[in-house]
Chains A and B, each alone.
Chain A
Amino acid sequence: MRLVEHIMGLPVSLEIPSPEPAKLAFGWLREVDHRFSPFRPDSEVCLGTSSPEMTEILALCEEYERRSGGAFRARLPGRPFDPCAVVKGWAVERAARLLRDEGVREFCLNAGGDIVAAGRTWSIGVRHPELADQVCAVFDLRDQAIATSGSYERGEHIIDGRTGRPARGLLSLSVVADDLTTADAVSTAAFAMGEEGIKWAAAQPGCLVFAVDAHRRVRKSGALARMSR
């Protein structure tokens, strides 16, 4: 069955055999929205609380700032601390873990375009960056995650932390990895880097890349070609 809830301002779709375990996953995502949203003045992000989860989020932000050479930054000059880029992937990966802990083997969890595909082969389309009702690639994923970054949905919201300006080198960049925490953080950081982000993401351990550059050329990791439909 297919369940859809709107949490953190995002549509969360879950394909799952029975509805009971889904409540746990949706409940956790709602908790994340309350505790880690930079838009809620009483959230741990705004109050600077040091819970174990907050420590984990801060460590992730620091790791990807370092790995991306500063292209990804959770602290931009003149803006409040915003760990959104890593929180979403991290939170959805945890929701997937809750489902597995409940004994759910087969499921496909999609939170606003970031996906965990578990237990069987799921065919995942990558949205065409210019045509909202079309896909520009289809990959068969099994026990893998995919995250996509682009500026076609919410405008130029990804900032290259090295220049402080919006990232413009790419139309879309997707990363396939074993877990969504990695896929989401690497795709966001790579998109911020622009064209050089394609090579950078491909060099990250366990990551496969599919990118459309500003000239509408498609670049992808060799292994992804074998997973294409």
Chain B
Amino acid sequence: MRRIMVFALFAVAGLVPLLRYQPEAATTGTSAVATAPQQAPAAGSTQVDGSTVDTEFGPYQVRVTFSGSEITDVQIITEPGDRRSQRIASRAAPTLREEALQAQSANIDSVSGATITSEAYAQSLQAALDAKGK
């Protein structure tokens, strides 16, 4: 069992580049050694922290949750501060869909958009507003 976990952590260490916000650079060190298993978070699950992996951006460390020998979750528990803030910033930025859903209900007078041609205008929202306003 323990050998399986160590093997799995090596595999997870290989995932560290994928977990990073910007994937283009390679890691400078990829060794990872399992520390002692943590207390079980749920019946039948085990959490194991990998050792810290130094990358050119700074240290990364992952926590892996196993159910038996199956990996059910991987979390980053250590990462460089600027990467963390970037990751949070990108998650905090609303998506286009969220913004659009909020914006739909409002009554509007006019529409700003990339320069529209006279041909495309006929089918545009602006044309509908203009027709209504006449």
A-to-B contact residues, CB < 8 Å = 1-2, 4, 6, 9-11, 13, 15, 88, 108, 110, 112-115, 117, 122-138, 146-154, 171-172, 174, 212, 216-219, 228-229
Contacts and interface: CB of A to CB of B under 8 A. Distances in A.
A124 B108 contact: yes
Pairs of residues from A and B, 7 with the lowest C-beta to C-beta distance, nearest first:
A127-B113, A2-B133, A150-B114, A11-B121, A113-B113, A216-B96, A125-B108
B110 A15 contact: yes
Q: Which secondary structure dominates where chain A touches chain B?
A: strand
A1 B72 CA distance: 63
Contacts of B125: 125, 127, 132-135
Nearest to A229: B106
Interface of B: 90, 93-100, 102-104, 106-118, 120-121, 123-127, 129-130, 133-134
B117 A123 contact: no
A73 B68 CA distance: 61
Given A108-B110, A218-B94, 10 more contacts: A1-B133, A113-B113, A115-B112, A117-B109, A123-B106, A124-B110, A125-B125, A128-B96, A135-B106, A136-B103
A225 to B, nearest CB: 10
B110 A150 contact: no
B30 to A, nearest CB: 28
Contacts of B109: 15, 108, 117, 122-124
B118 to A, nearest CB: 5
A110 B116 CA distance: 11
Nearest to B90: A217
A115 B116 CA distance: 13
Contact of A148 (B99, B114, B118, B127): B114
A106 to B, nearest CB: 11
Contacts of B112: 110, 113-115, 124-127, 146-148, 174
A13 B110 CA distance: 9
Q: Name which of B97, B114, B129 has the most chain A CB atoms within 10 A of its CB.
A: B114
Nearest to A174: B112
A16 to B, nearest CB: 11
B98 to A, nearest CB: 8
